[in-house]
Amino acid sequence: MLKRIFSEHVAREQASEHTLGNRLGDEAANERRLNFFASLNPAGFRQPKKSVATDAQGRTRGDKKRARRAAAMNKVSEERPEKYRHSVDRRRRASRYK
């Protein structure tokens, strides 16, 4: 019975060491965790890039997105005849030019 209780305790402790969301109390547990995850992938893990990805023109995804948005807004923001404007906009323009 004592052997079973000990093995359950060790299994619980190992499960907490192998879960990344748990904080570890001592340095030895941290070392065991590092060794465990290193054994999962001996070739190593992918490191994220230090800089953002750019295309051939040197533009980032955000730059391209902002350019597309500006081009779309220019198409929508054309000048319309007065009769096709919204009533609030017509009143606002009429009061501005008095």
Instruction: Estimate to the nearest angstrom the gap between the alpha carbon of 12 and the chain centroid.
Output: 32
The residue ranges of every structural domain in the chain are 2-40
Can you give the pLDDT at residue 65? 95
pLDDT, tens digit, 9 for 90 and up, residues 4-38? 776 776 677 766 666 676 777 788 888 888 888 88
Can you give the pLDDT at residue 1? 62
Can you give the pLDDT at residue 60? 93
pLDDT, tens digit, 9 for 90 and up, residues 63-87? 999 999 888 877 765 677 777 778 8
Can you give the pLDDT at residue 64? 95
67 vs 55: CA distance, rounded Å: 14
- Listed in order, strand segments (DSSP E) in the chain are none
Of 47 and 56, the structure prediction assigns the larger pLDDT to 56
Q: Is the pTM of this model over 0.75?
A: no
Contacts of 61 (CB under 8 A, 6+ apart): 52, 53
31 vs 81: CA distance, rounded Å: 73
